[in-house]
């Protein structure tokens, strides 16, 4: 039995019945796609996910890649290699590449629907297979030379890494000390040590191209302090002649150790030393321009969406595994007959507390899926306008606003629900290796950490995506949510119009607005002389706002789904479809009634925030 339980029915429902994605199929760069083809692609990838990808999820956790300190190489298990091969052979990566780089372009909404399946079934394989996708950045930002390298990365399926973190530069990327020295032939010698690098070394591909942030030295106008002084260098593991594709000697970049981690053990995370053993680590400056952090953020933005999607994919499978167990496991009597010691024992799905837990998981997983696919549908707008040589500014801003929510809120909610609810449903059996939950919980923890911790996502959301944006994207989103609430006004049955739930959403929207207003007040007062410390009040609430906004968006999207489902329930349905739509309505109502009211307390907490915790001496902690 596959560990991975997908929910393609919900994906198709969200994509087409709620978000109307047919709209973008058959249009512009996606003129060759229609709904049937899109569904066929998803169905094929779903099969791959549940079979060849899922097959090695557990075994590669138990026998992770091995580092040989003598040769400084990493060996990935043979079985895992098969999953990796199957993933590349599926061509799923091509959905994300432009046609001129060997891709078969598709709308981001379809890409992220597909990625959920791949990330949920075998996230490590997905990470190793990122090379052809990363080639896109070279293709977009690079010189002719870089573009040739990009083509090789795609044609020869080379791996790639994103290399930012150093021992003293994690969240604070701008503290990085790795340097790059210009050479007379136009290349650069990179010197320094990076740590925690995903796919740093392995034997899955003939070459690995490292995309490295380093600080150029002795170059006028470049290499200053902070992130703006960083440039992006392409440092291949093996030297390569980009004209012929021929590999040369070994470049001076070596993995010096692998981390022993809590989870995602199949994904090799290594320390990378550049130019430390006497051989220079030769690199090229991407695009021959010193614009490293901006170039790297093209990858980071993608990777933040990816990490959020990985998190919810795991939660969804965790929930469906828990549901299957709850339908089989017999334990205890029905609560209504508990006084009768001879009452028949029932499956645990009969117990109110198990139902509470299952519905919390279902609403969480389906709400987060809707958040990912809604964000991806905004990316459809961005990509479509770009393909016409235009920029849909409003869509760009809205996507920017939603990215920290997908990554930060998505990963936090997923990890907590996986641990407190999905694993819990199994009782002690959840804690042992017979079921995938113990691995899910270990593997999903990383999602709140890499690609910027939750704290970083909260700050990004408030300072960059709200304050710096002057609230435009947030205003646009609020108008959309308010529009949906108002669309239910007027005569008609309150039941079918979700009247009570609209009121709950209205209150939640106002509460989230209240949190924003309190924070804007604090950020404004911090501008006044002597009030600089008021910015701490903001810092105490950024994570709270991230979570509150996520709740509002998920609540809204679930309710939009419930509205569609209610309409379908009025039609003739086969029993499975009827049950599906009933479940959609139930999950949305559950979320509105049990999650959204909590935002009122969050607003009060935000409004009452003071500086006492900042005034407290460290010794008192």
Q: Which is nearer to ligand ST9, 174 or 182 (CB)?
A: 174
Nearest one of 267, 298, 305 to 76, comparing CA atoms: 267
Q: Which is nearer to ligand FAD, 28 or 539 (CB)?
A: 539
Q: Which is nearer to ligand ST9, 306 or 322 (CB)?
A: 306
- The minimum distance between CB 197 and ligand ST9, in angstroms, equals 8
In angstroms, what CA-CA distances link 530 with 173, 396, 535, 537, 617? 30, 37, 12, 15, 21
Nearest one of 213, 228, 146 to 179, comparing CA atoms: 213
Does 452 sit near ligand ST9 (CB under 6 A)? yes
Half-sphere exposure of 489 (CA within 13 A, CB side): 7
446 binding partner (options ligand ST9, ligand FAD, none; Cβ < 5 to 8 Å by kind): ligand FAD
Q: Which stretch binds ligand ST9 (CB under 6 A): 40-48, 291-299, 529-537, 585-593?
A: 291-299
Q: Which stretch binds ligand FAD (CB under 6 A): 40-48, 157-165, 490-498, 522-530?
A: 157-165
Q: Residue 233: left if φ>0, alpha if ψ -120 to 50, beta else—which one?
A: beta
Q: Which stretch binds ligand ST9 (CB under 6 A): 133-141, 204-212, 408-416, 601-609?
A: 133-141
Q: Which is nearer to ligand FAD, 231 or 357 (CB)?
A: 231
Helix (H, G, I), strand (E, B) or coil at 259: coil
Among 158, 188, 196, 591, binds ligand FAD (CB under 6 A): 196
Among 11, 83, 198, 457, binds ligand FAD (CB under 6 A): 198
Whether residue 373 contacts residue 112, with contact meaning beta carbons closer than 8 Å, is answered with yes
Helix spans in 63-209 (H): 78-89, 108-121, 123-128, 131-141, 144-155
Does 261 sit near ligand FAD (CB under 6 A)? yes
Does 454 sit near ligand ST9 (CB under 6 A)? no
Q: Residue 238: left if φ>0, alpha if ψ -120 to 50, beta else—which one?
A: beta
- The minimum distance between CB 162 and ligand FAD, in angstroms, equals 5
Among 92, 154, 163, 595, binds ligand FAD (CB under 6 A): 163
Among 366, 460, 511, 602, binds ligand ST9 (CB under 6 A): 460
620, two tokens: 């008192």
Q: Which is nearer to ligand FAD, 83 or 457 (CB)?
A: 457
Q: Which is nearer to ligand ST9, 142 or 367 (CB)?
A: 142
CA gap 451, 85 in Å, rounded: 26
List residues bridging with 269 in a β-sheet: 198
Q: Which of 141, 157, 271, 451 is catalytic?
A: 451
In angstroms, what CA-CA distances link 286 with 137, 187, 231, 615? 9, 11, 8, 46
**Residues 197-256 contacting ligand ST9, CB under 6 A:** 198, 226-227
For every residue of 154-167, DSSP letters joined together read HHTT-EEEEE--BT
DSSP at 597 = T
Does 526 sit near ligand FAD (CB under 6 A)? no
Whether residue 322 contacts residue 358, with contact meaning beta carbons closer than 8 Å, is answered with yes
Among 269, 317, 379, 457, binds ligand FAD (CB under 6 A): 269
Q: Is 141 among the catalytic positions?
A: no
Whether residue 281 contacts residue 272, with contact meaning beta carbons closer than 8 Å, is answered with no
- 278 phi/psi in degrees, rounded to 5: 95, -25
Does 159 sit near ligand ST9 (CB under 6 A)? no
Burial class of 615 by CB neighbour count within 10 A (0 to 12, 13 to 18, 19+): exposed
- The minimum distance between CB 171 and ligand FAD, in angstroms, equals 3
Does 165 sit near ligand ST9 (CB under 6 A)? yes
- The minimum distance between CB 616 and ligand FAD, in angstroms, equals 17
**Residues 347-406 contacting ligand ST9, CB under 6 A:** none
Nearest one of 367, 205, 210 to 281, comparing CA atoms: 210
List residues bridging with 193 in a β-sheet: 273
Task: Tell me the catalytic residues.
Answer: 451
Q: Which residues of the shown chain bind ligand ST9 in the complex (CB under 6 A)?
A: 127, 130, 133-134, 136-137, 162, 164-165, 171, 173-174, 198, 226-227, 293-294, 297-303, 306, 450-452, 456, 460, 464
Q: Which residues of the shown chain bind ligand FAD in the complex (CB under 6 A)?
A: 161-165, 170-171, 196-198, 261, 269, 446, 449-450, 452-453, 455
């Amino acid at each position: 039995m596959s560990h991975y339980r997908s929910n393609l029915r919900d994906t198709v429902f969200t994509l087409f019945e709620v978000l109307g994605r047919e709209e973008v199929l058959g249009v512009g760069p996606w003129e060759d796609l229609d709904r049937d083809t899109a569904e066929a692609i998803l169905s094929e990838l779903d099969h791959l996910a549940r079979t060849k990808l899922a097959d090695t999820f557990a075994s590669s956790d138990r026998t992770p890649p091995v580092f040989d300190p003598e040769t400084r190489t990493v060996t990935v298990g043979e079985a895992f290699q098969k999953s990796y091969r199957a993933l590349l052979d599926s061509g799923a990566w091509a959905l994300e590449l432009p046609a001129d780089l060997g891709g078969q372009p598709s709308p981001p909404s379809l890409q992220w629907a597909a990625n959920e399946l791949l990330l949920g079934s075998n996230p490590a394989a997905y990470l190793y297979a990122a090379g052809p996708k990363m080639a896109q950045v070279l293709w977009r930002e690079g010189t002719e030379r870089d573009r040739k390298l990009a083509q090789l990365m795609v044609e020869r399926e080379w791996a790639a890494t994103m290399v930012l973190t150093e021992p003293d530069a994690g969240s604070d990327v701008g503290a990085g000390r790795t340097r790059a020295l210009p050479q007379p032939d136009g290349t650069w010698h990179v010197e320094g040590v990076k740590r925690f690098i995903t796919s740093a070394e392995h034997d899955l591909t003939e070459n690995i191209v490292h995309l490295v942030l380093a600080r150029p030295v002795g170059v006028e106008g470049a290499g200053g302090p902070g992130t703006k002084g960083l440039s992006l260098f392409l440092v291949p593991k093996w030297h390569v002649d980009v004209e012929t594709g021929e590999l040369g000697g070994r470049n001076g970049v070596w993995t010096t150790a692998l981390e022993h981690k809590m989870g995602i053990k199949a994904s090799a995370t290594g320390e990378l030393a550049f130019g430390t053993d006497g051989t220079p680590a030769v690199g090229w400056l991407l695009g021959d321009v010193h614009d490293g952090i901006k170039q790297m953020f093209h990858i980071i933005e993608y990777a933040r969406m990816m990490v959020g999607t990985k998190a919810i994919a795991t939660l969804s499978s965790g929930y469906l595994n828990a549901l299957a167990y709850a339908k089989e496991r017999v334990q205890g009597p029905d609560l209504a007959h508990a006084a009768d010691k001879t009452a028949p024992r029932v499956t645990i799905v009969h117990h109110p507390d198990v139902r509470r837990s299952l519905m919390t998981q279902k609403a969480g997983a389906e709400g987060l899926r809707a958040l990912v696919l809604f964000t991806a549908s905004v990316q459809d707008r961005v990509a479509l306008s770009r393909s016409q040589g235009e920029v849909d500014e409003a869509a760009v801003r809205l996507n920017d606003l939603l990215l920290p929510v997908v990554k930060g809120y998505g990963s936090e909610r997923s990890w907590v629900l996986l641990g407190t609810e999905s694993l819990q449903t199994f009782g002690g059996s959840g804690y042992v290796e017979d079921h995938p939950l113990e691995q899910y919980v270990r593997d999903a923890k990383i999602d709140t950490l890499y690609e910027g911790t939750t704290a970083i996502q909260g700050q990004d959301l408030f300072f960059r995506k709200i304050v710096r944006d002057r609230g435009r994207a947030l205003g646009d989103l609020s108008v959309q949510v308010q529009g949906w609430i108002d669309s239910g006004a007027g005569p008609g049955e309150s039941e079918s119009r979700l009247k009570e739930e609209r009121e709950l959403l209205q209150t939640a929207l106002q509460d989230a607005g209240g949190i924003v207003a309190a924070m804007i007040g604090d950020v404004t007062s911090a501008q006044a002389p002597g009030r600089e410390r008021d910015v701490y009040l903001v810092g105490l609430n950024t994570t709270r706002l991230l979570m509150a906004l996520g709740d509002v968006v998920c609540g809204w999207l679930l309710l939009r789904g419930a509205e569609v489902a209610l309409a379908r329930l009025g039609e003739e349905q086969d029993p499975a479809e009827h049950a599906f739509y009933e479940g959609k309505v139930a999950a949305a109502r559950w979320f509105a009634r049990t999650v959204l009211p909590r935002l009122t307390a969050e607003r009060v907490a935000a409004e009452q925030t003071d500086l006492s915790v900042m005034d407290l001496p460290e010794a008192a902690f």
